[in-house]
Amino acid sequence: MALKFGLIVPQGWRMDLVGITDPVEAYETMTRVAQEAEALSFDSIWLFDHFHTVPRPTQEVTFECWTSTAALARDTKRVRIGQMVTCNSYRNPALLAKMASTVDVLSHGRLDFGIGAGWHEHEYRAYGYDFPDGPTRLKQLRDAVRIIHAMWSEEEAVYEGKYHSVRGAINQPKGAQKPHIPLLIGGGGEQVTLKLVAQYGDACNVGHQTNEVIAHKFDVIKQHCANVGRDYNSIHRTVLMNCAIAATDEEALAKSQPFLRNIPMERLRQSALVGTPDAIRKRIQELEEIGTQELIIFLPDSASLESVRMFAHECMDK
């Protein structure tokens, strides 16, 4: 299977709409990038699920994930659309399943549903959400994915969990895709998250890691699949990577400065795609060789479209 390519569209969370003062123009910038990605034959576009900017909260625009997903679904025609990833804590899972079903229909069956346990404590506190410990958030995620599956498959969903329950919930329409909307579970936790992938996921996402770590995560999923009797090859394996591409190495390094927030300089080239098109093509080949089936990139300057076009023309084998 040929490697697929996805693009994070500029949404504001990572300061990628800075300088656009009119919020309407900021949204139109986001949708222009989505439409250009579609025209350039990217397979998918993705949105983060966050409320205000990083590395620190500012007054810059940050568009909400699911309303933006719905809008982009109508602004595009072919490209698939997903979340990288929905924070389970921010919305009731039964309501979230209903929202996803609606978006899948209005996109004519192009939704990839991404979900994770959540992590951004400051954001939780700012918006008035409780922030339980990691093990609790993972248990909440387990309840949620079971409910979401039930909402997409049963006429009246029934599930009694410790954290979330449904009691005869009806969800019509259930979506356009059969047997149901693809469920992507994001995260790299080996004992719980990757086991949930093997049990319930149609896709996984790991990212911002070296080839060795990514290959190891895939091996962990494979072992979990063997333990639960699941075909490992039925899980679509996606990888998220920061990307800074330019005609020269010096220009690419200058663009990569925002990545140093969570990737040490000495690991930058191993845990991100940074460099000329030739260098990035080599890294893409390595990622494909270790089992990556879809590469999703974040370009800090995607709003200008130049890097989006360079990556598509120089690095995508389409």
- Look at the chain and report how many structural domains it folds into: 1
CA distance 82 to 148: 16
pLDDT in tens, 105-146: 999 999 999 999 999 999 999 999 999 999 999 999 999 999
CA distance 161 to 173: 24
pLDDT in tens, 97-108: 999 999 999 999
Question: How far separated are the first and last CA of the chain, in Å rounded?
Answer: 13
User: Helix and strand tally (H, E) in the chain?
Assistant: 11, 12
CA distance 242 to 260: 11
| pLDDT classification of 265: cutoffs 50, 70, 90 | confident
Query: Which CATH number does the domain housing residue 77 bear?
Result: 3.20.20.30
- Structural domain containing residue 158: 4-315
Share of the chain above pLDDT 90, in %: 94
CA distance 239 to 5: 10
Does the predicted TM-score (pTM) go above 0.85?
A: yes
pLDDT mean across residues, the chain:
96
Residue 318 is predicted with a pLDDT of: 64
CA distance 311 to 296: 12
Sort strands 165-169 and 157-160 into parallel, antiparallel or unpaired. antiparallel
Three-state DSSP state, 123: helix
Residue 234 is predicted with a pLDDT of: 97
Three-state DSSP state, 112: strand
CA distance 29 to 12: 11
Tokens describing residue 119: 């992590």
Mean pLDDT of 158-182: 97
List beta partners, residue 138: none
pLDDT at 69 over 80: yes
Mean pLDDT of 254-265: 87
CA distance 213 to 219: 10
**CA gyration radius, the chain:** 19
pLDDT in tens, 202-246: 999 998 999 999 999 999 999 999 999 999 999 999 999 999 999
CA distance 109 to 68: 17
Residue 262 is predicted with a pLDDT of: 77
Length of the chain, please?
Answer: 318
Residue 171 is predicted with a pLDDT of: 98
Secondary structure E strands in the chain: 4-8, 44-47, 80-83, 86-87, 111-116, 157-160, 165-169, 183-186, 203-207, 236-245, 273-275, 294-298
Tokens describing residue 57: 């909260």
